[in-house]
Structure 1
């Protein structure tokens, strides 16, 4: 079950206003996470080692990452712009 944070929603809205193709790419990454193994697949998934709560990231492009966390049967989508933020 997906849970979208306010930051993720704001980031996705920003992409659709400014670079709609990247917004589509983010939704492709979300679908890949939800439909398959959240730890393999598109966007070069990798665990974020130095941040608490064990989040993962996938590459949107060279600068930006989709950050998410898997807990039980829920996937929390945390952000979709910039590199990951602690906290």
Structure 2
């Protein structure tokens, strides 16, 4: 993973967000928002001003779409 080698602070925040997504995918920390248009069905949480965590929830699975840069 990119953050392991480049920014431990963002890695820690990412891990915190991922744990929260597992507990409550549609609520919780970092202002979860549903996405629209071509990414409809995905959800977004802000990691930093520049980076976003984008994920898709299907049944009991969470698929990470993106965790670096802005969607």
**Do both proteins adopt the same fold according to a TM-score greater than 0.5, normalized to the shorter chain?**
yes
Query: Normalized against structure 2, the TM-score is what?
Result: 0.91
Deviation at 1:51, TM superposition (A): 2.0
Q: State the partner residue of 2:50.
A: 63
Query: Normalized against structure 1, the TM-score is what?
Result: 0.76
Q: Map 1:6-85; keep pairs closer than 5 Å.
A: 13-35=1-23, 37-84=24-71
Gaps of 5+ in 2: none
Q: Secondary structure at the match of 2:27?
A: coil
CA deviation vs aligned residue, 1:15-42 (integer Å, no higher than 9, x gap): 121111100100100000112x200011
Following TM superposition, where does structure 1 have runs of at least 4 consecutive aligned residues deviating by more than 3 angstroms? none
- Do the aligned partners of 2:42 and 2:57 also contact (CA within 8 Å) in 1? yes
Deviation at 1:53, TM superposition (A): 4.7
Higher relative CO (Cα under 8 Å, sequence separation at least 6) belongs to 1
Deviation at 1:52, TM superposition (A): 4.1
Q: How many correspondences in the alignment?
A: 71
